[in-house]
Amino acid sequence: MAGNRTFTMIKPDAFAAGNSGAILKMIEEAGFKIVALKATQLTSELAGKFYAVHKERPFYADLCKYMSSGPIIAAVLEKDNAVEDFRKLIGATDPSKAEEGTIRKIFAKSIEANAVHGSDSDENAEIEGNFYFSQFERVL
């Protein structure tokens, strides 16, 4: 059965552009409840750990640099079928291929600076949420 939590980041491009509030509004209006939330900034080393799965990819070094280039917002979200429904809400990785009305279509600047992250599985949602939040920093 699909889990009911996912993890998201509002990435440095969207944070810097002042789009965090508008993105969180879209997330809530799509039926997701925010159960943990913080603004923070990754070091390049922490970004590397978060995206370790991509370390052999050609864009990995640039991705670590970009993800540590400014503040981000991290959040855990709750909804039935959370991972799949959130991936639909954010749209394709490359904003030029994202559907109309999706968060990336509206706010992303490029395939790298693509406004938001969304977990790709229940297992990764749990790992990624635990990467950012202790049990005292979330609504149980």
Ligand X SMILES: Nc1ncnc2c1ncn2[C@@H]1O[C@H](COP(=O)(O)OP(=O)(O)OP(=O)(O)O)[C@@H](O)[C@H]1O
Residue 93 in contact with ligand X, rule: CB under 6 A: yes
Q: Which of these segments, 40-48, 69-77, 106-114, 128-136, binds ligand X (CB under 6 A)?
A: 106-114
Residue 107 forms beta bridges with which residues?
A: none
Nearer to ligand X, 11 or 136 (CB): 11
Of residues 28, 27, 34, the one with CA closest to residue 5: 34
Report if residue 42 touches ligand X, rule: CB under 6 A: no
Is residue 112 close enough to count as binding ligand X by CB under 6 A? yes
**Which pair of tokens denotes residue 121?**
């599985």
Q: Which of 50, 77, 95, 117 is flagged as catalytic? A: 117
The nearest distance, CB 52 to ligand X, in angstroms, is 11
Query: Which residue, 63 or 75, has its beta carbon nearer to ligand X?
Result: 63
Largest CA distance in the chain: 39
Nearest partner of 51 among 109, 9, 19, 87, judged by Cα: 9
Considering only the stretches 16-24, 69-77, 108-116, 130-138, report the one whose residues sit in contact with ligand X under the rule CB under 6 A: 108-116
Cα distance between residue 68 and residue 105, in whole Å? 23
